[in-house]
Every structure is written in structure tokens, then in C-alpha cells.
Structure 1
Amino acid sequence: MAHGTDVCVVFAAGEYYPGARIEVPRGAFVVAADGGLDHARALGVVPDVIVGDFDSVRGPVPGVAGESAAAAGGGRVPRTIALPALKDDPDLLSALKVGWAAGGRTFHIHGALGGRIDHTIANIQLLAQVAAHGGIAYLYGDGDVVTAISDGALTFPAGRVVPGRMVSVFSHADESRGVSETGLKYELRDASMRNTQVVGVSNEFLAGVEARIAVADGTLTVTFPQEAGEPLVERFHAFHGDLGPLDTEVSPLLNAAAR
């Protein structure tokens, strides 16, 4: 990654909450997904890349419809990737692919929770896609964070969260094995969870205790309060592959259905 870090910040086009803490770490690679450009611009952030079909952006897009690069502000020229409206990938996945290709493996995504429920569900699924390739992504909402971990563990240091604040764990995989939750009010050790069961909701942080959530084989979706901070991520084996190339067309099956 040109910025010397594996951190990528993505501005999506969805809900942004009053008073939300949005941080762009120094040196992070920044991608604006379609209407996320409006939110980045409002915060005074100039993205490294702007990507999308630009059906939700309201302000000018550098390099699109005759707009000059200076429209981005700040004097820096972002790269603009214009995609067709008819394609399989949502704009957020395109943004993640751009970030991954630039070296990003830790993604902080704003504007991807709330609003349309179908978009929220899709964005949570994207967390699992990133986790399955050894990365980690965080969706920030109204004081809460959603992430996913595959064959690994998340450790939250003690003392960051008021005791009683909730953390919930769900199996994204059909079955997740070797699930452990330690340092929380309700503990699990070497359990199995299925994506048709709800057994990990509304656990609680404890005072002065480090909390750890682990899965030996499978993928977990985890929600936690933003004040818990970014957990320490442990992976139990090497991961391979990537998120794939940018998608620019509709798959043949969907094309056949459209006809």
C-alpha cells in the first residue's frame, strides 16, 4: 500500500449518525463509495480513490461529467473509477476490492449500517467475505460496531467499556466449531454455533477483565460498543486469495432472468 499501512477507511453512502466518532488514521488509504464522497467531503477528507456508478452522489465527482480534479478539494487529485449501473457487485464491495488491491487488510467502514435493511444485511455479509480471506472489516453505526472473524480470535483489553455493555456473537457459517467466549458475563468454551440458532446475543463485558471471542473453524459475526475500541486480532492459520477484480457486468444467470 502506498501509505505504508494495511489500514483502509471506506466512506459508504448510507446512514451517518449525529455525534459519531469518525477517525481517519494517519497514512490510511481512503476510498469513497459513490455517495460516500459527499460524506467524506463534508468531513474535509479527500479520498485516494472514488468508486461507484454514482447514482447516489449529490456533489461533483472529479473526472465524471466534465468535473475537474480540483472538485475533490484539498489540492490532491483522487483517482476516480466509474462503474456501470448494471453489475453484480454493490458499490461497497467495489470499494473493498479497491482497498484490498492497494494492500488494505483492516477496513473501517462508515455509512454502511442503518437506512435500507437490505443494504445493511448485504454489508454484514461483506464482513464475512473479508474475514474469509484473512482480513477484518468493521461497520460503524450509532455507537455500535459490527465485525466478523474467521478461524481466529478477537481480544478486547480490560477497562475500555462500562461493565454491562453488551457484546453479541452469531454464527455466519452454517456451523462454527470451537467457539469460546471468555472474560464475559456468560462464558462458552469449545462450543458449536449454527446460523439458525440465536445463543450468543446480549452477553456483557465485565469490569477489569479482558474479553476474548474465538472460533476454531467457521465465521462469527460480532457486535460490540464502539468505545471498546479495535480488538486485537489473532488468526489461527494463513489465509489465501483476494476479493477478486472489480465487477463491471451482470452475471449470465441474472441476464437470463432479466430476459
Structure 2
Amino acid sequence: MTSTNRVLIFAGGDIIPDFKQHIQEGDYLIGADYGAYFLIEHGIIPDTAIGDFDSITPQQLEELQNVCREVVVVDPLDKDLTDAELAFDIALNRQPEQIVMFGVLGSRLDHSMANIQMMLRALQHQISSSIWDKNNFITLTGSSALVQRRQFTYVSLLPLTPEVTGITLEGFLYKLENASLRMGQSLGISNKLEKEEGTIQIESGLLLIIQSKD
């Protein structure tokens, strides 16, 4: 299977205005449903477009098919996965070092939560993953992470397993050393970096790192 350094997924939710600044030479671009049309609207041709394309018109789909390298149209009544997860499966199969997702958060909480939980599948394949929108940058770790400010105000830590143990923070305003977080606790909400970056280490469990701003 062809391997690429990074795969970027664009779905139909909120996409940050400066998304072009995050595209690097050699990135493999996947558009999920409207996310594919969003890219060509902005002069970028995705490597793959996938979905049932119920969010665009037949004319827009034809436009996609005329310019995209690969367009995969799935039956909206005969699919078990969301368009975002279909795109995520393609990303995993390429065995990249990173998967970066845009437009996977929005007004649908069910879709947003499912897309956040997909990062677990990347971690199981030893692939780092992240989610960007205009107010949030989300990553997941099972060991350690370097956190950079990225113009975000807050850093919140939320367990994705019933308990995360051995949490040690360096470079943060509110310190933790060998601490534990359990689901349902808000202890890890709204921390701040003291400088431009800090480190997080954990001993067990899976920890969501959510950088955010109002």
C-alpha cells in the first residue's frame, strides 16, 4: 500500500478560514461529501472524494467528477459508515504518519463525538491524528504529547477511557504530577500554557487534549 507522510480530510462541517496554510507539499487530500466540493471551490483538487453527496447538487457532483482524480459515490441508503469515517478508512489504509481532519465538528453533536472517537482508531495503528476548527485543536495520546500554543487560550484534558493515571504536566499554569482523571470529572478543564509549549505524560489510559479559545 502506498505510504504518505500526512493525510488531510475535509468534511462538511466548520472549516477554518486559513486552512490553505495547513496544506503541505506531498499531503494526500480527501474530501468527504461537501468537503470535496469546498476544496474545488477554493481552487484545490482533492486526491479522493467520497460520500453519498447528499449535501451537494447533481451539477456540483458532476463538476467534482470532472476534476477529481478519484470520486467514490456510495448509496445513502446502503452504507453503515458516515462520510467522514469512509474518508478516515481511506486515510488509515494509506498508513500515513499523521491524519489531520477539518470540518468534522459542527452543529451535529453525534457526528462530532463520533469523529473525535475515530482518533482512537488512528492511535491503534500508531498514527497521530488531530482535529482543527476555528475554536479548537484536538489530539489524543496514550503516552506523551508536546502541546504548542497555536494561538489557543486554554488546554483541557478529558479521559477517553474510564480512568487516566500518572498524568504529569510541565510548562502549564496548573500543575499535575502523577495525577489521575476519571470520566465525569472536570479537574482537567481550562488549564493554560505558561510559555509557548508544554508537555504531558501519562502512564495508562487515553487522554484527549483539547486546545480551545472563545
Does TM, scored on the shorter chain, surpass 0.5?
Answer: yes
Partners of 2:10 and 2:102 within 8 A in 1: yes
* Residue in structure 2 matching 1:214, options 177, 201, 207: 201
Residue 44, structure 1, aligned to residue 31, structure 2: no
Q: Give, in whole Å, the separation in 1 of the partners of 2:18 and 2:130.
A: 14
1:218 Cα deviation (Å)? 1.2
Identify the structure with the greater helix proportion: 2
Partner of 1:100, secondary structure, is helix
Answer with 1 or 2: which has the greater Rg. 1
**Which AA in structure 1 matches 2:141?**
I
**Which AA in structure 2 matches 1:50?**
A
Q: Residues 111-133 of structure 1: CA distance to partner in whole angstroms, max 9, x if unpaired?
A: 11222222111111112232233
Counterparts in 2 of 1:60-139, with a 5 A limit? 60-61=60-61, 69=65, 71-72=66-67, 77-85=68-76, 86-139=78-131
Match of 2:158 in 1: 170
Q: Give, in whole Å, the separation in 1 of the partners of 2:187 and 2:202.
A: 15
In the TM superposition, structure 1's runs of 4+ consecutive aligned residues that sit over 4 Å from their partners are none
Identity of aligned residues (%): 25
Q: Residues 181, 57 of structure 1: CA spacing in aligned structure 2 closer, same or farther, 3 A cutoff?
A: farther
Counterparts in 2 of 1:139-150, with a 5 A limit? 139-150=131-142
Counterparts in 2 of 1:187-202, with a 5 A limit? 187-202=175-190
Q: Give, in whole Å, the separation in 2 of the partners of 1:15 and 1:161.
A: 18
Q: Residues 175-204 of structure 1: CA distance to partner in whole angstroms, max 9, x if unpaired?
A: 112222221001112222112222100000
Partner of 2:203, secondary structure, is strand
Partners of 2:50 and 2:83 within 8 A in 1: yes
Q: Residues 185-232 of structure 1: CA distance to partner in whole angstroms, max 9, x if unpaired?
A: 011122221122221000001136x40112222111111159xxxxxx
Query: For this pair of structures, how many residues does the alignment match?
Result: 210
RMSD: 2.4
User: Which residues of structure 2 form unaligned runs of 5+?
Assistant: none
User: Which residues of structure 1 form unaligned runs of 5+?
Assistant: 227-259
